[in-house]
Amino acid sequence: MNIHRFQNTQELNEAGAGIIAGLVQLQPRVVLGLATGGTPVGIYEELVKAYRKGRISFKGVTSFNLDEYVGLPEGHPESYRSYMNHHLFNHVDLPPAQAHIPNANAADPAAECLNYDRLLDEAKQIDLQILGLGHNGHIGFNEPDHSLVSGTHLVELKPATREANARFFNSPDEVPTHALTMGVGTILKAKTILLVVRGADKAEIVHQALTGPITTELPASLLQTHPHLVVLLDAEAGRYFE
């Protein structure tokens, strides 16, 4: 486990983007696992800048997003497809056919989960998986529970998760109750995991996740078992790691 603490957001964003861009340069056909939410926005902005300067190309990249809300209509501004289009896909040369996000509006969610896992199997292995961290310790939308699902699955979002994501919607009632998410088993198969955490409100949970007992009641604690975990923290989130 390599933990890096940064004094400002820009340094963190540049470091995260640098890790990803360096991998894309060395391995043009890299498989990336992508995350959404507020945490990686600045990293994606730096990747777009690098692309516009001609430093990297995404033509050979394959990407898999962690999750997608169930029940949002196609094109909804808060869907994760819209998020990725807005923050990354529409600004780089990643072929649309190589950018995978679970189809959470599929008529048969169970079949869609199996299909997503099939695509992941065909890609062999995610080379680098970006992760954020939920206030309750979830990764992707793998919520705290007595046991965790290995593969892609339908999950009911905990009230704390819906409350945390309400800031992206007009009202808390608009936050979807379910999502499709990549399973913890798939996440842990990635060659490298890049965990990015910001803010004082995440300081306690990231400390518990990385130094406390490993338990499915705190899904992020399972990251302690990964052989190549890189953690990027801003000054506030990393205050226990000084």
Model pLDDT for residues 171-205, shown as the tens digit of each residue:
888 888 899 999 999 999 999 999 999 999 999 99
What is the band of 242 on the pLDDT scale with cuts at 50, 70, 90?
A: confident
Q: Residues 136, 174, 178, 207: which is the catalytic one?
A: 136
The CATH number that applies at residue 185 is 3.40.50.1360
Q: How many CA atoms does the CB half-sphere of 227 hold within 13 Å? A: 3
| Sequence-ordered list of residues with C-beta below 8 angstroms from that of 220, at least 6 positions apart, any chain | 131, 133, 134, 137, 138, 139, 195, 205, 206, 209, 210
- Has residue 139 been placed in a domain? yes
Predicted local distance difference test score (pLDDT) of residue 191: 97
Both tokens assigned to 95: 């072929």
* pLDDT of the residue at 75: 87
105 labelled catalytic: no
228 annotated active-site:
no
- Residues 14, 46, 67, 234: which is the catalytic one? 67
In a domain, 214, yes or no: no
Strands 31-34 and 128-131 turn out to be parallel
Residue 44 lies in a domain: yes
Distance CA 87, CA 44 (A): 6
- Of residues 117, 143, 165, 234, which has the active-site annotation? 143
Cα–Cα distance for residue pair 72/80, rounded to 1 Å: 10
Reply yes or no on whether 85 is catalytic.
no
In a domain, 98, yes or no: yes
Report if residue 231 sits inside a domain. Answer: no
In a domain, 229, yes or no: no
Query: Domain residues for 191?
Result: 2-61+72-196
65, 68, 127, 138: which one is catalytic?
138
Domain count for the chain, please give it. Answer: 1
Angstrom CA distances, 192 to 31, 38, 131, 164, 240, stand at: 11, 21, 11, 27, 24
pTM of whole model > 0.75? yes
Q: Is residue 216 situated within a structural domain?
A: no
Interval 66-120: pLDDT, tens:
999 998 988 888 899 999 999 999 999 999 999 999 999 999 999 999 999 999 9
What pLDDT sits at residue 167?
84
Instruction: Give domain status of residue 91, yes or no.
Output: yes
